[in-house]
Amino acid sequence: MNLAITLFVALALASVIGTILKQNEPYQNYIVKFGPFWHGVFERLGLYDIYSSGWFILILAFLVTTTSICLYRNTPRVLATLKQYREDMQEAQLLNLAHNTRMRTGLAHEEAVTKLAACLKRLGFRYRIKRHEDRTTLAAMKGAGNRFGYLFTHCAVVIICIGGFLDSNVPLKIQSLRGQLQAETRDLPISRIPDKSKLPVNNTSFRASVSIPEGRAAGAAFVNLGAGYLVQPLPFIILLEDFRVEHYPGGQPKSFESDLVIQDGERRMAKTIAVNHPLNYRGYTIYQASFGDGGSKLDFTLHDLASSGVLHHTINVNRSVSLDHNGENYQLEMEEFRKFNIFPNEDPAIDKKFRDFGPSVNFKLRRTDGRANEYLNYMYPITLEGREFLLSGVRSSLDEEFRYLHIPADDDGSPDRFLALLDTLQDTERLMRIYADRQATLLAGADLDGKITGQDVSNVTLRIVRLFLDGGFPLLQQQVDPAMDEETARTVNSASMKILRFGLEQAYLAMLADAGMDADDISDRDIQFLNDAIITLSALHQYGSPYYLQLTDFEHVEASGLQIARAPGAKWVYLGFSLLIAGVFLLFYVPHQRLWAIVRPGDSGSEILLAGSRTRHARDFSRYFRQISRTIEQSFPLN
């Protein structure tokens, strides 16, 4: 019993984990959520498919086997006790029971036996009478159904475990180990997926998922198996006519539902499903599980960060396009589009608890060697400390947090001013002209004895600016000779920062002049823009992309995530659960009670010895026995 309870607790804990942790997701999702280390730990423990893990199945098999043996050995004995009234109980045995009493009646022996039998029947007891030479024994019992509680609960364990076996992926894993099935890991059209990765249409048990864009249909679903998937063809077509989602103020989805049409040959059925309101059709259950992007059409402007070049592309989510930049090929993989990004508001100027930061797009830029950076770009500027920035996050692996590039936005909410400054800084010839003109003004009338010319100053300024663009502040600090003493190094570093500031300011002023702004019109806001731009420029070398992708327009397409299950074991689990409830009720609320009465003839009537017992709740039975005794006493004329 202790072992059985321990195993049941283990199954209960496993079921809790299986409920909290979403099962049979692609491994990539778990890596993002838990990181590579814990993903490996959880994978080895089988937590991603816990109901089909080896240890879980072993516990089920052990419980089925041992419980079946218990039923086989004990059922005949339990059934036999239903007919065992134990009418051979002796008087000494009855006196040893905790509940017994004696009473005398003026009725004759046979009349007393008849009267006592009628009283027991009226109290709901079944009884048997056995006559001896000197006495008559009445053996009665009530609540014999309590013994069925044992059978029902043990049968329930067996049936529930068998139902779990029927709905598990154990057959799939066995076929996979034998080489009959092979999980596909490539992203291929269904028509190109090999037969070894396809399940039969008449598969009796599976749980699969499919994402259907609005206006599209699907005739198959996908069963996740290990690091890959299997294709499960369906005997009907599922069409998604419309998908709707509502959000809470905090951004969490409040409700989402899908308008589906099932096309089964000539039969056509329309049904709206929502969370906890699935569709049951021909033994298949279709659940509303999730939602996502269904291939939204996105318009981009690609700003070349190494030149003033601009490209325009239209890309659908879950599609990719090749880009060529100075002879190096990149693959732009569009992964996700979000129309809403609702986060807690941290701007005191906005009197809202939550804010919608607008659409965002997630994509990867992959090099020819397979290395890729992941990017997260927001469409609209985000206000930080009273200033607007266009955010672009980047990370090189899934276990990293996004590092954000804050591009200062101009008055129109665009990156044009920043990009114009970047173009100016990358135009070497123009910078030399800007610096030469400015140096001529600064050095006019200065007596430098010919040791330093304006060209020298311009060259130094240009070199420092180029170093800054190539590696930011860290690269500038690396130029200081390590042999210098601390004070000299500090002086050199300070001079470099002043020259850098001078070079960036002159380029910025020239860029503003090109835009038609006079030097007298420059405001504190324009100066702050330069300060923000310098911080962005210092981090640009870590961005890892030759382009900045600006989302300019989109055509949003929703997709409904459906889970399709065929679970013949469910009805067995329901049956087992019903038996378990019935068994627990019989065990705890239907006590098995026994009464014995020995009637002996006396000189002027009869003597009755009444005794009883109950399997549970002795204190309650003590009151009940006294009540029975009073009832019987009141039925007899006592001496």
Report the phi/psi class of residue 32: left, alpha or beta, with left for phi > 0 and alpha for psi in -120 to 50: alpha
Give the number of other CB atoms < 10 A from CB of residue 288: 23
Residue 444, pLDDT score: 46
Residue 456, pLDDT score: 73
Q: Rounded to an integer, what distance in angstroms lies between the CA atom of residue 498 and that of residue 468?
A: 13
**pLDDT tens, 176-226?**
778 788 888 888 888 889 989 999 998 888 889 999 999 999 999 998 877
Among 364, 320, 358, 313, smallest CA distance to 340 is for 358
Structure tokens at 188: 């291929």
**Residue owning tokens 């030149």:** 307
Residue 66, pLDDT score: 92
Task: Kindly compute the dihedral angle of the four CA atoms of residues 72, 76, 78, 82, in this order, to the nearest 10 degrees.
Answer: 160
**pLDDT tens, 266-288?**
899 999 999 999 999 998 999 99
Residue 348, pLDDT score: 62
Q: Note the helical H segments in 355-453.
A: 416-426, 428-443
Residue ranges, the chain, pLDDT below 70: 250-251, 346-351, 439-454, 638-639
Structure tokens at 478: 């690396």
Q: What is the DSSP string of 195-208?
A: GGGB--TT-SSEEE
Every domain of the chain with CATH number 3.30.310.80 lies at 85-143+591-635
520 CA to centre of own chain: 58
Asked if 342 and 355 touch (Cβ cutoff 8 Å), the reply is yes
Q: Rounded to an integer, what distance in angstroms lies between the CA atom of residue 597 and that of residue 99?
A: 12
pTM of the model: 0.68
Q: Rounded to an integer, what distance in angstroms lies between the CA atom of residue 139 and that of residue 128?
A: 5
Among 238, 229, 217, 228, smallest CA distance to 284 is for 238
Q: Rounded to an integer, what distance in angstroms lies between the CA atom of residue 195 and that of residue 230?
A: 10
- The CB-side HSE value for 131 (13 A sphere, CA atoms) comes to 6
Q: Rounded to an integer, what distance in angstroms lies between the CA atom of residue 352 and that of residue 369?
A: 46
Asked if 248 and 254 touch (Cβ cutoff 8 Å), the reply is yes
- Candidates 3.90.850.10, 2.60.40.1220, 3.40.50.2300, 3.30.310.80; CATH matching 85-143+591-635: 3.30.310.80
Q: What is the 3-state secondary structure (H, E, C) of 284-322?
A: EEEEEEEEEECCCEEEEEEEECCCCCEEEEEEECCCEEE
Q: Rounded to an integer, what distance in angstroms lies between the CA atom of residue 210 and that of residue 562?
A: 5
Give the number of other CB atoms < 10 A from CB of residue 157: 23
Q: Rounded to an integer, what distance in angstroms lies between the CA atom of residue 217 and that of residue 541?
A: 45
- The CB-side HSE value for 473 (13 A sphere, CA atoms) comes to 10
**Residue owning tokens 């059925």:** 269
Collapsing DSSP to helix, strand or coil, 102 comes out as: strand
Residue 447, pLDDT score: 46
φ, ψ (nearest 5 deg) of residue 368: -65, -25
Cα–Cα separations (whole angstroms), residue 9 to 4, 18, 56, 160, 587: 9, 14, 12, 15, 20
Helices and strands per DSSP (H, E), number in the chain:
14, 25
Structure tokens at 406: 């804050």
Burial of 385 (0-12, 13-18, 19+ CB in 10 A): exposed
Collapsing DSSP to helix, strand or coil, 342 comes out as: strand
489 CA to centre of own chain: 54
Among 563, 618, 590, smallest CA distance to 148 is for 590
